[in-house]
Amino acid sequence: MPDMDDAALQALRHGSAEDRARLERLAEGDAALRDRLAEWDRQDAALHALYDPVVEEPLPGRLTALLVQPAAPPRRLWPIAAMVAPLVIGVALGWGAARWSGDGGRDTDSLLASAIRAHDTYVVEVVHPVEVPASDEAHMTKWLSKRVGQQLAVPDLTADGFRLVGGRVLPDTRGAAALMMYEDDQGQRLTLYIAPEPRQPETALRFADSGPTRGVWWVEGNLGCAVVGDLPKDRLKAVATRAYDQLTGA
Amino acid sequence: MTFLDEIEACLPSLRRYAFALLRNRDAADDLVQDTLERALSRRHLWRGDGPLRAWLFRILLNRFRDDRRRDRTALSVVGAMIDPPVSGGQDERLDLREVHEAMGRLPADQRAALLLVGLEGMSLAEAARILELPEGTLASRLGRARAELRAMTGRSGPRGERKATET
């Protein structure tokens, strides 16, 4: 074989335009080198033939969904949400929640604002409110726990008339967040939203009330949790307390 | 282009790379989703002083290594393979299948390196920055990967005979 080893040839082949021109000149007078280069061309062509079809596929919804999630400041998004959602959004609630965000850097959304946005996005979904249905609860729990980074318990809220619909993972400025959706016999839905909150002090249950969407939230351990729904205040508090007891007892 | 537009433009090649690396569709999209979530949550760390594509590939490869450390067995499982596309005669088809299988037998670090330059068309310098390796180290790794692949696809002698690795 010629005096250059594979590593040196790789450096030229994937180097600058100058390197590649030099390699071409070397190959002109060297049949063995030309064979070697042709073999590498065949390898690259095979890789393209094998894996390029993936590039032509439409992007899966779970990826594009992340890109349409608001990355811009939340305030600009409220009017849009109000236009598209068939519900009246609690604007004042959102503002109150934004104030709550404490040290919140300018691109940090408050936990409750994120929870309300998630609730409003998915509560109107008839066909795909969740990614993993309640019928697959064990898998869902494992998946959500892995993504949020802590073992989660799925609260049983049947005593309050709410059964689990299922769950999904959502992007949050704090990391991956878990959403669990519940529904009662009248089709009234409730969202439990859990996101990592490593820098926040623990809080008691807090209630925010404005417009039809109400929320209760708290921080416990390294997790921030919010229960959001269009429920009477007393009923929402009762459900949130039950969820709180089960999550913190886990 | 906005930050999100630029990310979206990179997604097809990230998915291609992840699939070629992991060889399992669901695992590949999990990895890309993970990468995307991480990139979005850390967008304030990206100062726009380098190509966004390189930043995304670096996040993806870090996630890949983290996952392997955490759960070696799960990721070593080779999942549902695609049927290599058929275009041309039997020989070409056999060839692609052989290459796909051979890629699966390459050590993961060699596969990751070879796919960056051979499939994603990156230069040695760009790939070295992404892998956080000196260029010389990467060049040797590529040389070994190429030689292994050649040996496993039966082009360096009788079929199945493994040629001693040159370094």
Cα A234 from Cα B80, distance rounded (Å): 51
How far off is chain B from A27, nearest CA to CA, in Å?
17
**B102-159 residue pLDDT tens:** 999 999 999 999 999 999 999 999 999 999 999 999 999 999 999 999 888 875 444 4
Domain boundaries, chain A: 6-55, 73-248
Residue A87 predicted with pLDDT over 70: no
Percent of chain A with pLDDT over 90: 39
Domain boundary among B65, B82, B99: B82
Mean pLDDT is lowest, of A97-106, A236-245, B5-14, for A97-106
What pTM, to 2 d.p., does this model score? 0.53
Percent of chain B with pLDDT over 70: 74
Q: How many domains does chain B have?
A: 2
Q: B64 and B119, same structural domain?
A: no
Of B16, B84, B85, the CB nearest to A55: B16
Q: B36 and B69, same structural domain?
A: yes
Helices (H), A29-164: 31-51, 53-56, 61-68, 74-84, 91-100, 111-122, 137-148
Chain A residues with CB under 8 Å of a chain B CB are 5-11, 14-16, 39-40, 43-44, 46-57, 59-60, 62-64, 66-67, 69, 71, 105, 107, 171-176
Which residues in A lie closer than 8 A to residue B103 (C-beta atoms)?
A: 47
| pLDDT average, residue stretch A125-154 | 89
pLDDT, residue A90, reads 39
Q: How confident is the model at residue B48 (pLDDT cuts 50, 70, 90)?
A: low
In this structure, which long-range contacts are made by residues A12-21, counting pairs with CB atoms below 8 Å and at least 24 apart in sequence? A13/A37, A13/A40, A14/B117, A14/B122, A14/B123, A14/B124, A14/B127, A14/B142, A15/B123, A15/B124, A15/B125, A16/B123
Mean pLDDT is lowest, of A18-22, A148-152, B57-61, for A148-152
pLDDT, residue A227, reads 94
Q: Which residue has the higher pLDDT, A90 or A188?
A: A188
Q: What one-letter code names the amino acid at A161? A: G
Q: B96 and B75, same structural domain?
A: no
pLDDT, residue A209, reads 66
How far off is chain A from B25, nearest CA to CA, in Å?
10
How far off is chain B from A70, nearest CA to CA, in Å?
10
pLDDT, residue A112, reads 84
How far off is chain B from A16, nearest CA to CA, in Å?
7
pLDDT, residue A94, reads 42
pLDDT, residue A109, reads 57
Burial B76-114 (b: 16+ CB within 10 A, else e): eeeeeeeebeeeeeeeebebbebbbebbeebeeebbbbb
Of B4, B32, B85, the CB nearest to A49: B85
pLDDT, residue B103, reads 95
pLDDT, residue B47, reads 65
Q: B16 and B64, same structural domain?
A: yes
pLDDT, residue B69, reads 73
Of A9, A63, A175, the CB nearest to B11: A63
Strand partners, B139: none
**B4–A107 C-beta distance less than 8 A:** no
Nearest one of B48, B38, B49, B35 to B3, comparing CA atoms: B48
**A10–B115 C-beta distance less than 8 A:** no
Q: At A83, is the secondary structure helix, strand, or coil?
A: helix
pLDDT, residue A210, reads 55
How far off is chain B from A110, nearest CA to CA, in Å?
14
pLDDT, residue A157, reads 95
* Largest distance between two CA atoms of chain B: 54
**B41–A171 C-beta distance less than 8 A:** yes
In sequence order, what DSSP letters do the residues of B40-73 get, joined into one string? HHTGGG--SSS-HHHHHHHHHHHHHHHHHHH-HH
Indicate the fold that domain A73-248 takes in CATH.
Phosphorylase Kinase; domain 1 (3.30.200)
pLDDT, residue A3, reads 54
Residue A64 predicted with pLDDT over 50: yes
pLDDT, residue B71, reads 58
Strand bridging mode A206-209 / A214-220: antiparallel
| pLDDT average, residue stretch A82-99 | 41
Cα A105 from Cα A73, distance rounded (Å): 11
pLDDT, residue A111, reads 84
Domain boundary among B53, B82, B111: B82
Q: Could you tell me the residue range of the domain that residue B47 belongs to?
A: 1-82
pLDDT, residue B155, reads 52
DSSP A223: E
What is the average pLDDT value for chain A, to the nearest integer? 80
Nearest one of A64, A130, A53, A60 to B26, comparing CA atoms: A60
**B6-45 residue pLDDT tens:** 899 999 999 999 999 999 888 999 999 999 988 888 877 7
Which residues in B lie closer than 8 A to residue A47 (C-beta atoms)?
A: 20, 99, 103, 114-115, 118-119
How far off is chain A from B58, nearest CA to CA, in Å?
18
Whether residue A157 contacts residue A239, with contact meaning beta carbons closer than 8 Å, is answered with yes
Which residues in B lie closer than 8 A to residue A51 (C-beta atoms)?
A: 16, 19-20, 119
Q: B74 and B116, same structural domain?
A: no
Tokens of A114: 């994120």
Residue A86 predicted with pLDDT over 90: no
Of B36, B100, B140, the CB nearest to A50: B100
Which residues in B lie closer than 8 A to residue A63 (C-beta atoms)?
A: 11, 15, 29, 32-33, 36
What's B38's domain CATH number?
1.10.1740
